[in-house]
Chains A and B, each alone.
Chain A
Amino acid sequence: MKKNIFFLMMVLISTGMMAAPLSVVTVTQEQALLVQKMGGREVKTECLTLYNQDLHQVQARPSMIIKLKKADLLVRVGMRLDDWLDALILNASKASFFDQGVLDLSKGITKLQVPNQPLDGRLGDIHPEGNPHYWLDPYHLLVMAKQVSERLALLRPEKASYFAEQYQIFEKEWQIQLKKWDQQMAPLKGAYILTYHDSLPYFAKRYQLVILGQIEIKPGIPPTPAHLLHLKTVMKAKPVKAIFVEPYYPKEHALTLQQPAKTIVFSTSIAPNASLESLYEQLITPLVKASY
């Protein structure tokens, strides 16, 4: 009997059935949830940032290197939003990070706002590769999921069919969600919205919302009273349904603008253990309410 168990164990080990789950480190909570969906029981995810953290302002810390050292895959946002990762990759001295060990999810995305002029401070803190907030378009989740699934299969070929199956399950479920959100957002076509930072161009393009402007003067540059006055004037002519403020930006400017226009001010955040759908629900539900 003991011999049989030993033999079975050896077979399982040799076929990779008892291999440890792939360790995946992600930059955002959303990515961690997506990777977990794609990898199921075959992956273990860890996130580098807090759920309410501004990705522009993350400080690379030595302790993060240990997380990277243990990782089989590092998933990044790319488009220079997470440039601080470079310091960690440089100091981790891990061979796979110079090959298949890093997945930049922006690679498969059609980028918006790619500057076609030389960049300087007049434009604010502009990203040279375009606006990096691509994951806020729920359709892009499918593109990102496909990339994750393919990379996991590359790293663990013996589980390729499992990862493909996970993707198919996700795609089916997500298509149902997308259909629901398309219906909910349809009445909002052409509606005016305002954002604190320019973080919704992909979302707005998908649902044909019109972004009237930003509370920031330029990306990364806080508002002035004159700019807020200008926005108030613009909002009188074009009533804004909602103002979107990320959890890490101050809400007081949006609340000042909110009163006369009777708009709603809303935010999103993915708390630990939340679902991936909840991020988009937080975006869509307030807008739908605002449309009544």
Chain B
Amino acid sequence: MKYQWFCIFFMMGMMPVWGQTDMSIIGNFNGTTKQPFGLNESMLEFQQYLYPDIKMNLMLAIHQEGHAYHADIEEGYVSFLNPLEDVILKIGKKKIGFGHINTQHAEDWTSIHQPGFLNDLFGEEGAVGQGGVLSYLLPLPVFTQLEFGVWDYGPYEAESEALMQNGAHGRLWTSIAIQDLEFRLGVSGIWDNLYHNATGIDFGVLKDFGSGKKIYGHVEWASFSKRDTYLKDSHYAYLGYCPSAFWEFGFQKDKHQYFSVITKSLSERIKFRAELGYDALDQGVLTGIQMVVQMGSHGHSQLK
């Protein structure tokens, strides 16, 4: 733990040296039925080109766990953006491209609570690994990308129904635009060397009216097995409507939870969110409020 804090403070101390580094700090304040309102997570994001087509991204996170804070490297990877035409290679620690929402950070989720889909399948952290991923843009008239990664997921834990030790993942996804209506479809698979595996399918649609006004939906389903024995499955669905760049109204459904969510953005730097939900498993009402603040520039490197 001391080592992690040392790294964080060392990097913060180095900031003046990296005059040209694109940096941002994200604060995620939230409160839910199970936890009083407070600073729940703070994230430092650094990105810089190391070479014309090589880029480094580093995301350090400090999470709240009970009354203590825990420092972690959420993601840290180097992207080789054109080692071959149509190929991208990323090496380091990454959220694995299994489905659509697994790659998103907490401030980009459509709800305050972590989507149950991730928790159900992969645990609190989602699917994360140390390794490398190769993306290949297929030579087709529509966007179609094939992704293959090799990962170290972490140590063996007895009794756990999660990904462990070493493994791989693959994803094929396509996106088709018909005027300003965009459809996205993906299939994913992930394995480890202890015979755990998950397969999933995701579908998204976006109608962009311009000027921030849009309506979009997303559905994702996956199942988790060991050898050929089914262990669990989960799903996630979200429908959102943004009448302008400042407001979003959404409805989210996980396997056991339902949420209605309202988001108000004051500017690019600060947004507020409130949600009201119901957990069918606990048979309890879930409420949450959230404030996401951002200092510094945007990442702008993610396709959503």
Interface residues in chain A, defined as those with a beta carbon under 8 Å from any beta carbon in chain B:
49-50, 52-54, 56-57, 59-66, 69, 80, 83-84, 86-88, 90-95, 98-99, 120-121, 124-125, 128, 220-222, 248-249
Contacts of A59 in B (CB 8 A): 206, 208, 214, 304
Cβ of B105 under 8 Å from chain A? no
Please name all residues of chain B whose beta carbon is closer than 8 Å to the beta carbon of A66 when the two chains form the complex: 141-143
Q: Are A93 and B85 in contact (CB under 8 A)?
A: yes
Contacts of A65 in B (CB 8 A): 137, 143
Interfacial chain A residues near B212, Cβ < 8 Å? 54, 57
Bound Cα distance A101, B285 (Å): 54
Task: Please tell me which one of the listed residues A62, A80, A99 contacts residue B52 in the complex, with CB atoms under 8 A apart.
Answer: A99
Residues on B with beta carbons closer than 8 Å to the beta carbon of A128: 297
Q: Give complex CA distance A222, B247 in Å.
A: 12
Contact A63 B211, beta carbon cutoff 8 Å: no
Query: Cβ of B141 and Cβ of A87 under 8 Å apart?
Result: no
- Check B301 against A90 for contact (C-beta < 8 Å): yes
Q: Is B195 an interface residue when CB atoms closer than 8 A count as contact? A: no
Stretch in B110-118, B164-172, B173-181, B231-239 with 4+ CB within 8 Å of A: B173-181
Q: Other than A87-B303, A91-B135, A93-B85, give 8 A-B pairs with Cβ distance below 8 A.
A: A62-B184, A63-B142, A63-B175, A86-B300, A93-B81, A121-B270, A125-B267, A249-B211
Known A59-B214, A63-B142, A65-B137; contact A87-B301, beta-carbon cutoff 8 A: yes
Rounded to whole angstroms, the CA-CA distance of A54 and B212 in the bound complex is 8
Across-interface contacts of A248 in B (CB, < 8 A): 210-211
Partner of B53, one of A62, A95, A221, A249: A95
CB atoms of B206 and A87 under 8 A apart: no
Which one of A63, A80, A84 has the greatest number of beta carbons of chain B within 10 Å?
Answer: A63
Given contacts A98-B81, A98-B82, A125-B267, contact A57 B245 (CB under 8 A): yes
Q: Which residues of B contact A93 (CB under 8 A)?
A: 81-82, 85-88, 135, 137
Q: How far is the CA of A65 from the CA of B182 in the complex (A)?
A: 13
How many residue pairs between the two chains, A and B, have CB atoms under 8 Å in the bound complex?
A: 107
Q: Within 8 Å CB of A53, what residues of B?
A: 210-211
Asked if B53 and A220 make an inter-chain contact with CB atoms under 8 angstroms apart, the answer reads no
Note all chain A residues with C-beta closer than 8 A to B303.
60-62, 87-88, 91
Chain A contacts for B256, CB-based, 8 A: none
Q: Which residues of A contact B87 (CB under 8 A)?
A: 93
State whether A121 touches B267 (Cβ < 8 A).
Answer: yes
Contact sample, A vs B, 6 pairs, CB 8 Å cutoff: A90-B55, A93-B81, A95-B85, A125-B268, A220-B267, A248-B210
Chain A residues contacting B173 (CB-CB under 8 Å) are 62
CB <8 Å contact, A95 and B82: yes
- With A and B bound together, what is the CA distance between A84 and B301 in angstroms? 8
Question: CA separation between A155 and B175, bound complex, in Å?
Answer: 30
The answer to whether A221 touches B266, judged by C-beta atoms less than 8 angstroms apart, is yes
Q: Which of B242-263 contact A (CB under 8 A)?
A: 245-246
> Residue of B at shortest CB range from A60?
B303
Q: For the complex, what is the distance from the CA of A50 to the CA of B175, rounded to whole Å? A: 19
With A86-B301, A93-B87, A95-B85 given, is the CB distance from A121 to B143 under 8 Å?
no
Are the C-beta atoms of B88 and A91 separated by less than 8 Å?
yes
Given A90-B301, A98-B52, verify A61-B85 contact (CB < 8 Å).
Answer: no
Task: Please tell me if the beta carbons of A54 and B210 are within 8 angstroms of each other in the complex.
Answer: yes
Say if the beta carbon of B188 comes within 8 Å of chain A: no
Compute how far the CA of A221 lies from the CA of B270 in the bound complex, rounded to whole angstroms.
11
The docked-state distance in angstroms from the alpha carbon of A60 to that of B85 is 21
**What chain B residues lie within 8 Å of A49 (beta carbons)?**
210
Taking CB atoms, residues of chain B closer than 8 Å to A120 are 295
Query: Considering the chains assembled together, what is the distance between the CA atoms of A49 and B143 in angstroms?
Result: 18
| B175 touching A222, Cβ below 8 Å | no
In the assembled complex, B302 has its CB within 8 A of some CB on chain A:
yes
**Bound CA–CA A119/B86 (angstroms):** 37
Contact partners of B81 in chain A: CB under 8 A:
90, 93, 98
The contact string, 1 if C-beta is below 8 Å from chain A, for chain B 55-72, is 100000000000000000
Q: Establish whether residues B304 and A63, one from each chain, have CB atoms under 8 Å apart when the complex forms.
A: no
Known: A65-B143, A93-B137. Contact between A54 and B208, CB under 8 A? no
With A61-B177, A65-B137 already in contact, the answer to whether A83 and B298 are too (CB < 8 A) is yes
Residues of B contacting A62 in the complex (Cβ-Cβ under 8 angstroms): 143, 145, 173, 175, 182, 184, 303
Among residues of A, the one whose C-beta sits closest to the C-beta of B85 is A95
Point out the residue from A57, A63, A221 that lies within 8 Å of B182, measured CB to CB. A63
Q: Mark B173-199, 1 if CB is under 8 A from A, else 0.
A: 101110010101000000000000000
CB contact under 8 A between A63 and B208, given known A91-B88, A221-B267: no
With a CB–CB cut-off of 8 A, which chain A residues contact B176?
Answer: 63
> Contacts of A125 on B, CB cut-off 8 Å?
267-269
A61 near B137 (CB under 8 angstroms)? no
Chain B stretch 69-108: residues in CB contact (< 8 A) with chain A: 79, 81-82, 85-88
Do the beta carbons of A61 and B206 come within 8 Å of each other? yes
CB contacts (< 8 Å) of A222 on chain B: these are 246
Q: How far, in whole Å, are A128 and B20 apart by their CA atoms in the complex? A: 13
A224–B223 CA distance with the chains assembled, in angstroms: 50
Nearest 9 A-B pairs (CB), nearest first? A63-B177, A62-B175, A248-B211, A53-B210, A57-B212, A62-B143, A98-B52, A98-B53, A54-B211
Within B43-60, the residues touching A (CB, 8 Å) are 52-53, 55
